[in-house]
């Protein structure tokens, strides 16, 4: 056989596979490099590309309100809500409305809270719940607090009921759940102000508007948790119910919902906390109470009084959170047969006796019915003195830090993002999407930020993105190490997690107080508030992820001779990565919400424009901006979820 007829056995050269990620990144870099010669249409969206979305939405709402007559329905619902608010307001702080039985003495409310806390969680919870209301009364903040609670006790039951019914419908009809899921995703990504503007258009301002926007805002977590609980019901439990001859209604009410009780009550806890957060923020639409007072004091830079109100809001949030969590964890008590009614309801009898004593003492000693302004305490002056000393002492440091951050960090990052052509940003985001999830994720990223481009709010959105990016990077720089440090020891982890749980109950307004006190009203204060708010989930989920690594994996690493550092890098962190990514996701969402809320102390981002839309009741502009914020959050959520799953 000749040499020419022998088969060619030389290795076939391997052609490297084409990677669209690098191609897209190269295109983005080319657009940036060519910026000086790019036409205006590639620098910012041309006018022909910007759609009049706000006008379309305003036209739709005008048609719904006037032509369809929806305003009459919403006003009728609002009148019903207002009637209930008048009842609770009369009972809690003596508003002159039916049933004209109030106000309840503060001592009676405090004793009721203490008894409820004892029944749910024992003496410590009783001290927290009762002590919170004693503090409120003695500090002269009773009426403001009752104005806030009078809305929560109306809004929370509506939210729970509506969320429960909607979740049951979604669980029963898959098609409805398919439609509901994206609605819930957007609803939970929308900033607080976006909910307020349509409500103001249809309802107006005041307590009834605050109650309705609170109901709408707090429904999504109830739906989510109820659906989760219904899906977790074991199949064996359902089969047992069917074998007993239960109908579909009985299976739902006697089997599924009771079995899902814990998850549903966690949803109730979330509803209560969301209600408190929104009621505080609803001061922007005329909702009286603690939020309105805190807003006024912050705008007047009265730090001592602001801290007093802040302590009250924090105590109220912690007490409501701990009581509702204890209710979720409390299992039904089954008494032995033959035990008397009085023994089974001992706490109820004690409460009844205390109520009689409380009303009697209040009738004899007016102080226990109402603490007058002259009798109330105040720690504002000592706080102001201490804060003034601290501010003067550390002023050189804060001045330098403010100058350094604004001059060398914030302005350069902001100007860089605004300098980039929007086309380069879109192509870079498509590259990021493809890297984590292929073409589908690339199109998702393009779609979310493409909406921002055609909405006409690109520059404002980039300012929002810059604030969030800087804040999350700063929060991660100390949040991750702190979480790793805390996760090394069980006792340390418990203490830090308890602190994180407490901090997560704080309404977002509270985080503005220390940064305004230290840095004044500027971008540094905004970023500082966002950092404080965003660090909590990073620390929490880092600890939970690292503590959740199976012991068998850690023992295997130890037996192979791995050092502590090697075990952390090669075992703990990789296994905890999905949980840590959940913390990063939560941190980004918290940051977005906080940036929008912090707009009232002076920013130039989407939040400032949203507040202007709220002031002018421009529902179209408000929703366009709200969707822009939501889509930033949803894009980040999509990318992080894909990264965690790879």
The DSSP-derived string for 438-492 is: HHHHHHHHHHHHHHHHHHT-HHHHHHHHHHHHHHHHHHHHHHHHHHHHHHTSHHH
- Please indicate, yes or no, whether residues 370 and 398 belong to a single structural domain of this protein: no
Q: Is the dihedral of CA 536, 542, 545, 547 positive or negative?
A: negative
Could you identify the residue written with the tokens 């201490």?
Answer: 386
- Please indicate, yes or no, whether residues 618 and 469 belong to a single structural domain of this protein: yes
User: What is the rounded end-to-end Cα distance, in angstroms, of the chain?
Assistant: 53
Least Cα distance to 191 among 615, 484, 499, 598 occurs for: 598
Confirm if 264 and 165 have CB atoms less than 8 A apart. no
DSSP single-letter state for residue 14 = P
Q: What pLDDT sits at residue 463?
A: 93
Q: From CA 203, how far away is CA 78, in angstroms rounded? A: 7
Nearest-Å Rg of the Cα atoms of the chain is 28
Q: What is the largest distance, in Å, between two alpha-carbon atoms of the chain?
A: 123
In a domain, 330, yes or no: no
In a domain, 208, yes or no: yes
In a domain, 119, yes or no: yes
In a domain, 37, yes or no: no
Could you identify the residue written with the tokens 């039951």?
Answer: 157
* Residues in the chain, pLDDT under 50: 1-4, 6, 15
- Please indicate, yes or no, whether residues 358 and 493 belong to a single structural domain of this protein: no
Distances in whole angstroms, Cα of residue 158 to Cα of each of 164, 187, 200, 319? 10, 18, 19, 21
- Please indicate, yes or no, whether residues 170 and 266 belong to a single structural domain of this protein: yes
Q: From CA 202, how far away is CA 207, in angstroms rounded? A: 14
With helix as H, strand as E and coil as C, how does 339-378 read?
Answer: CCHHHHCHHHHHHHHHHHHHHHHHHHCHHHCCCCCCCCCC
**CATH number of the domain enclosing 205:** 1.10.3720.10
In a domain, 160, yes or no: yes
**Side-chain-facing half-sphere of 620: CA atoms under 13 Å:** 14
Distances in whole angstroms, Cα of residue 66 to Cα of each of 204, 508, 621? 15, 36, 19
- Please indicate, yes or no, whether residues 534 and 586 belong to a single structural domain of this protein: yes
**DSSP letter for each residue of 399-413:** HHHHHHIIIIIIHHH
**CB contact set of 245 (below 8 Å; sequence gap of 6+):** none
Least Cα distance to 259 among 231, 281, 278, 222 occurs for: 231
Q: From CA 284, how far away is CA 197, in angstroms rounded? A: 10
- Please indicate, yes or no, whether residues 499 and 615 belong to a single structural domain of this protein: yes
Q: From CA 262, how far away is CA 264, in angstroms rounded? A: 5
Least Cα distance to 521 among 601, 447, 587 occurs for: 601
Last residue of a domain, one of 334, 350, 376: 376
In a domain, 553, yes or no: yes
Confirm if 326 and 122 have CB atoms less than 8 A apart. no
Distances in whole angstroms, Cα of residue 204 to Cα of each of 56, 78, 268, 613? 22, 10, 28, 14
Q: From CA 313, how far away is CA 125, in angstroms rounded? A: 17
- Please indicate, yes or no, whether residues 287 and 179 belong to a single structural domain of this protein: yes
- Please indicate, yes or no, whether residues 100 and 157 belong to a single structural domain of this protein: no
Instruction: Read off the pTM.
Output: 0.89
Residue 301 region by backbone torsions, left for phi larger than 0, else alpha for psi between -120 and 50, else beta: left
Domain that holds residue 224: 153-292
Last residue of a domain, one of 326, 356, 376: 376
- Please indicate, yes or no, whether residues 489 and 633 belong to a single structural domain of this protein: yes
**CB contact set of 507 (below 8 Å; sequence gap of 6+):** 276, 277, 280, 281, 291, 313, 317
Residue 575 region by backbone torsions, left for phi larger than 0, else alpha for psi between -120 and 50, else beta: alpha
The length of the chain is 646
- Please indicate, yes or no, whether residues 549 and 408 belong to a single structural domain of this protein: yes
Q: What pLDDT sits at residue 449?
A: 96
Last residue of a domain, one of 292, 327, 353: 292
Could you identify the residue written with the tokens 């050092």?
Answer: 563
In a domain, 412, yes or no: yes
In a domain, 541, yes or no: yes
**Side-chain-facing half-sphere of 232: CA atoms under 13 Å:** 14
Q: What pLDDT sits at residue 354?
A: 93
- Please indicate, yes or no, whether residues 250 and 346 belong to a single structural domain of this protein: no
- Please indicate, yes or no, whether residues 421 and 500 belong to a single structural domain of this protein: yes
Distances in whole angstroms, Cα of residue 213 to Cα of each of 76, 101, 152? 15, 28, 11
Least Cα distance to 61 among 156, 199, 223 occurs for: 199
* Count of domains for the chain: 3
């Amino acid at each position: 056989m000749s040499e020419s007829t022998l088969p060619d056995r030389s290795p076939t050269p391997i052609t490297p596979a084409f990677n669209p990620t690098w191609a897209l990144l190269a295109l983005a870099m080319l657009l940036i490099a060519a910026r000086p010669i790019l036409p205006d249409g590639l620098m910012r969206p041309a006018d022909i590309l910007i759609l009049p979305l706000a006008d379309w939405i305003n036209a739709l709402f005008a048609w719904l309100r006037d032509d369809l007559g929806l305003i009459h329905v919403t006003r009728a619902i609002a009148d019903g809500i207002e009637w209930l608010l008048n009842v609770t307001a009369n009972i809690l702080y003596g508003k002159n409305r039916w049933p004209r039985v109030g106000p309840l003495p503060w001592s009676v409310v405090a004793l009721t809270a203490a008894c409820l806390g004892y029944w749910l969680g024992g003496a410590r919870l009783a001290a927290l719940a009762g002590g919170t209301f004693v503090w409120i009364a003695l500090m002269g903040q009773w009426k403001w607090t009752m104005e806030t609670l009078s809305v929560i006790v109306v809004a929370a039951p509506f939210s729970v009921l509506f969320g429960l019914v909607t979740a049951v419908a979604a669980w029963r009809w898959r098609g409805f759940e398919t439609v509901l899921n994206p609605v819930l995703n957007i609803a939970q990504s929308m900033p607080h102000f976006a909910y307020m503007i349509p409500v103001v258009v249809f309802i107006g301002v005041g307590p009834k508007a605050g109650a309705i926007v609170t109901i709408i805002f707090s429904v999504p977590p109830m739906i989510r948790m109820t659906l989760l609980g219904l899906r977790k019901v074991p199949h064996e439990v359902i089969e047992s119910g069917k074998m007993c001859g239960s109908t579909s209604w009985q299976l739902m009410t006697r089997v599924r919902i009771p079995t899902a009780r814990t998850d549903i009550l966690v949803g109730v806890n979330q509803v209560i906390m969301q209600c408190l957060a929104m009621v505080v923020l609803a001061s922007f639409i005329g909702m009286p109470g603690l939020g309105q007072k805190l807003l006024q004091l912050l705008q007047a830079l009265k730090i001592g009084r602001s801290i007093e109100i802040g302590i009250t809001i924090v105590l109220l949030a912690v007490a409501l959170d701990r009581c509702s969590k204890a209710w979720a964890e409390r299992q039904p008590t089954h008494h032995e047969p033959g035990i008397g009614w009085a023994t089974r309801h001992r706490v109820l009898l004690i409460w009844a006796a205390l109520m009689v004593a409380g009303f009697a003492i209040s009738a004899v000693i007016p102080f226990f019915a109402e603490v007058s302004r002259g009798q109330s305490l105040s720690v504002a002056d000592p706080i102001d003195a201490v804060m003034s000393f601290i501010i003067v002492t550390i002023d050189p440091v804060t001045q330098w830090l403010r100058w350094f951050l604004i001059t060398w960090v914030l302005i350069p990052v902001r100007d860089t993002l605004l300098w980039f052509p929007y086309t380069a940003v879109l192509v870079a985001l498509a590259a990021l999407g493809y890297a984590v999830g292929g073409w589908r994720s690339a199109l998702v990223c393009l779609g979310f930020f493409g909406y921002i481009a055609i909405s006409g709010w690109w520059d404002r959105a980039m300012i929002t993105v810059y604030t969030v990016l800087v804040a999350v990077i700063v929060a991660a720089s100390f949040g991750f190490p702190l979480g790793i440090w805390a996760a090394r020891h069980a006792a340390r982890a418990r203490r830090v997690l308890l602190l994180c749980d407490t901090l997560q109950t704080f309404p977002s307004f509270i985080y503005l107080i220390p940064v305004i006190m230290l840095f004044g009203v500027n971008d540094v204060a905004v970023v500082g508030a966002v950092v404080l708010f965003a660090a909590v989930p990073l620390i929490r989920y880092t600890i939970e992820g690292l503590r959740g690594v199976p012991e068998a994996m850690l023992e295997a690493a130890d037996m192979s001779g791995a050092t502590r550092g090697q075990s952390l890098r090669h075992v703990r962190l990789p296994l905890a990565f999905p949980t840590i990514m959940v913390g990063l996701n939560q941190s980004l969402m918290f940051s977005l919400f906080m940036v929008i809320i912090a707009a009232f102390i002076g920013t130039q981002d989407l939040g400032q424009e949203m507040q202007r839309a709220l002031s002018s009741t421009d529902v179209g502009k408000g929703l366009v901006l709200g969707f822009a914020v939501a889509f930033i959050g949803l894009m980040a959520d999509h990318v992080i979820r894909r990264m965690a799953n790879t």
